[in-house]
Structure 1
Amino acid sequence: MKIYPIEAGNFKLDGGAMFGVVPKSIWNKTNPADSNNMIDIAATCLLIEDGDRLTLIDTGMGDKQNEKFFGYYYLWGDDSIDKSLKKHGFTRDDVTDVFMTHLHFDHCGGSIQWNKDRSGYEPAFKNATFWSNKEHWQWATQPNAREKASFLKENILPMEESGQLKFIERQGGAYQENSELDFGILFVDGHTDKQMIPHIKYQGKTLVFTADLLPTAGHIPLPFVMGYDTRPLLTLPEKKTFLETAAKEDFYLFLEHDAHNKVIKVKQTEKGVRLDEVYTFNEIFN
């Protein structure tokens, strides 16, 4: 098995929304804001090469939305999935599986693209199976008013219409080893219903793709919960259990949304779990 970080693009989000009730005077120390109160956000995906299987975890925003839409997110840098795949010797057509932690637009938008004449949409990975789970799919396709703007039908419905969609079957319990893919999955519900957090055994280590359970290193303290979370009081115990396990089991945490701290480890302290070490991907895995 080999794993590669895939840069799907960078953007900015409102720092207040990203840290909920935490004052700016505190979160600005770890995630400094610009003059518009926006902080740097990445969309870094993971590509797992295992034999003839090539699995991509999340796909970023994609590029099919209009200029007005992208104007809200202050895109920066020149990273893209295609450039990043090419860097590692792959193309979209090589991808056999696309695993989506959840179906918010910044995690799955790159899964679907315009067709040639821009009359409709088609899978951006024509040879891939798209993986979600039934409970989250229902949550996303029948969205509540609070999340409706994050669940865009053009990102989601074409997966099912193409016949390329499959569901992970939850077997009971928050964590399960998965026979369909190359990693274990932790199900969490605080951010959105049935978000899936991959736990990958690699080079004798456990690498966890934290998605929106832990967006950035600045979100490690328990009260630092995103305003986007639908059930923040559920995020608290989910994050507490996860971070305590990560510290105890010596997990490496891959931060999808942190533009400046890509892989971290945490440790238990008198004040709770805190940041221990920060690494580049290549410092730990080669």
Structure 2
Amino acid sequence: MNLYPIRAGNFKLDGGAMFGVVPKTLWNKTNPADTNNLIDIAARCLLIKDHDRLILIDSGMGTKQSDKFFGYYSLWGTDSLDNSLNEHGFHRDDITDVFLTHLHFDHCGGVVQWNQDRTGYELAFKNAKIWSNKNHWEWATKPNAREKASFLTENILPIQESGHLYFISRTEETFQKNTELGFGVLFVDGHTEKQMIPHIEYKGKTIVFMADLLPTAGHVPLPYVMGYDTRPLLTLPEKKLFLETAATNNWYLFLEHDAHNEIITVQHTEKGVRYKDTITCNELFN
């Protein structure tokens, strides 16, 4: 097995929204805001090469939205999904599977693109199976008022219409192992219904793709919960259980949204679980 970080782009979000009820005087120490109160956010995906399968976890925003739409998110930098794949010697047509942690636009938008004459949509990964889970799919296709702006029809329905949609089977185990894609999945419901957190066994280490359970290193303290979470009081016990397990087992936490920290570890302290170290993908994967 080989792992590759895929940089699908960078954007900015309101720091207050990203940290909920936590005062700016606290979160600004780890995630400094600009004059518009915006903080740096990454769309860092993960590519897994395992025998004859090439599995991409999440896909970033994509490129099909309007300039007005992207203007809300202050895109910055030169990273793109295609360029990042090419850096590692791959093309999007090589991808056999795309695993979507959830269907918010910044995680799944890159799966669907305009067709050649811009009269409709098509899959950006024409040879790939696209993986979600049944509960989350139903939640996203019948969105509540709070999440409706994050579940965009043009990102979701073309996947089903393509015939490439597959659902991960789910058990009631807390940490589900041996999924159809060869890695474990933790299902969590605080951020959105049945978000999936992949656990990958790699050279004797466990690497966890954090998605929106832990967006950045600055979110490690328990009360640091995003304003975007639909059930913040459920995020708290989910996050507590996860972080305690991660600290005990020395898991490596791959951060999708942290523009400046790729992978971190956490440790037990008298104040609870806290940040321990930052590791680069190059250090861990090579």
Rounded Cα–Cα distance in structure 1 between residues aligned with 2:285 and 2:132: 27
Is there any run of 5+ residues in structure 1 with no aligned partner, and where?
none
- Look up the SS of the partner of 2:222 in the other structure: coil
Amino acid of the residue matched to residue 277 of structure 2?
E
Is the 8 Å Cα contact of residues 2 and 285 (structure 2) preserved in structure 1?
no
Q: 2:152 and 2:195 mapped to 1: Cα distance? A: 17
Q: CA deviation at 1:204?
A: 1.0
Q: Distance in 2 between matches of 1:3 and 1:17?
A: 31
The aligned counterpart of 1:222 is 222
Contact 2:168–2:179 under 8 Å retained in 1: no
Specify every segment of 5 or more residues in structure 2 that has no aligned partner in the other structure, as ranges: none
C-alpha separation in 1, matches of 2:130 and 2:162: 10
Q: Deviations over 1:188-246 (max 9, x none)?
A: 00000000000000011000000000000000000000000000000000000000000
Measure how far apart 1:174 and its partner are: 2.7
The 10-residue stretch of structure 1 (239-248 or 165-174) with the greater mean CA deviation from structure 2: 165-174
Structure 2 CA distance, aligned partners of 1:110 and 1:24? Answer: 32
Please name the residue that 1:169 is paired with. 169
1:47 equivalenced with 2:55 (yes/no): no
Look up the SS of the partner of 1:177 in the other structure.
coil
Is residue 203–residue 285 contact of structure 1 (8 Å, CA) maintained in 2?
no
Output the CA distance in 2 between the equivalents of 1:103 and 1:195. 9
Q: Which runs of 4+ in 1 moved over 3 A?
A: none
Query: How many angstroms does 1:179 deviate by?
Result: 3.5
Q: Distance in 1 between matches of 2:3 and 2:182?
A: 11
Is 1:149 matched up with 2:146?
no
Letter in 2 for 1:23: P
Q: Is the CA contact 2:15–2:39 (under 8 Å) kept in the aligned structure 1? A: yes
What number of residue pairs does the alignment pair up?
A: 286
How far apart in 2 are the matches of 1:112 and 1:177? 29
What secondary structure is seen at the aligned counterpart in 2 of 1:233?
helix
**Residue 86 of structure 1: aligned partner:** 86
- Taking only aligned residues, the RMSD between alpha carbons, in angstroms, comes to 0.5
Counterpart residue number, 1:23: 23
| Structure 2 residue aligned with 1:266 | 266
Secondary structure, in 3 states, of the residue corresponding to 1:176? Answer: coil
**What is the rounded CA distance, in whole Å, between the counterparts of 2:150 and 2:19 in structure 1?**
18
The Cα shift of 1:283 comes to 1.2
Aligned partner of 1:197 in structure 2 is 197
In structure 2, how many angstroms separate the alpha carbons of the residues matched to 1:33 and 1:205?
A: 34
Kindly provide the CA deviation profile for residues 106-137 of structure 1, in whole angstroms up to 9, marking residues without a partner as x.
00000000001101100000000000000000
Identity of aligned residues (%): 74
Q: Which stretch of structure 1 is more off in the superposition, 206-215 or 165-174?
A: 165-174
Matching residue's letter, 2:4: Y
Q: Is the 8 A contact 1:102 1:196 kept in 2?
A: yes
Equivalence for 1:37: 37
Partner of 1:60: 60
CA distance in 2, matches of 1:36, 1:174: 40
Contact 1:174 1:188 (C-alpha < 8 Å) held by counterparts: no
